[in-house]
Amino acid sequence: MKKALVFFWLIFLFSAIGYLFWYNDIIYKLPTPIPKDYKSIETGSLIVLNDVLNKNHSKPIFLHFFNPDCPCSRFNMKHFKSLVKEYGDRVDFRVVVLSPKSFTSETIQSKFDLQIPILFDKALATACGVYSTPQAVLLDQAQHLYYRGNYNTNRYCTDEKTSFAKIALNGLLKKQTDLVFSQAALKSYGCTLPDCK
């Protein structure tokens, strides 16, 4: 009797864990609802940035929109850091933290082992047309929007064929003006702003 009880308890436990993984995977694959007051920003639009970002016009600017409480943002961090490592000498990387909670630059840099500037300017999200995290925004040297979208279709950013942020980085650095992205790249997936839902 005791063995049967333990057996059924283990089956229930593994079923519950399996359901949670399945449910989170389904939720992750659904696009983030577009806010009612959302204003789309077209590729090629001039993005007016604050003085913090205007210091260096010799490099493109990559803005990583991030919420420390968003599971999608945390899954994405390893991939983002690999982009910083690969392109950091040619691109000016910044993390834009979007969260209702208060964080300091030092907290984010320490917790996620980042050696790049951290910004807390929510107006940047509006200026770039970002309404979910994680999102990648790439601006050319003249601060025109080159790419705004997802990093990858895969939660852990392991599919090289759909490594959209990396494709955008390579395209901008090669001065490709005819790069076209699919809806999977441009439709927002992840956690809604400002709360993580």
Closest by CA to 124, choosing from 176, 50, 74, 59, is 50
Q: Which residues sit opposite 144 in a β-bridge?
A: 46
* pLDDT, tens digit, 9 for 90 and up, residues 76-97: 899 999 999 999 999 999 999 9
pLDDT band, residue 156 (cuts 50/70/90): low
Segments in 88-141 forming alpha helices (H): 105-112, 123-128
- Look at residue 136 and tell me if it is in a domain: yes
What CATH code is carried by the domain that includes residue 111?
3.40.30.10
User: What is the average per-residue pLDDT within 52-70?
Assistant: 82
Q: Which tokens go with 95?
A: 């993390």
pLDDT at 176 over 60: yes
The pTM is what?
A: 0.83
CB atoms within 10 A of CB 17: 10
pLDDT at 139: 94
Is residue 2 very low, low, confident or very high in pLDDT (cuts 50, 70, 90)?
A: confident
% pLDDT > 90, the chain: 47
Task: Give the total residue count for the chain.
Answer: 197
Domain region containing 88: 61-192
Q: Is residue 157 part of a domain?
A: yes
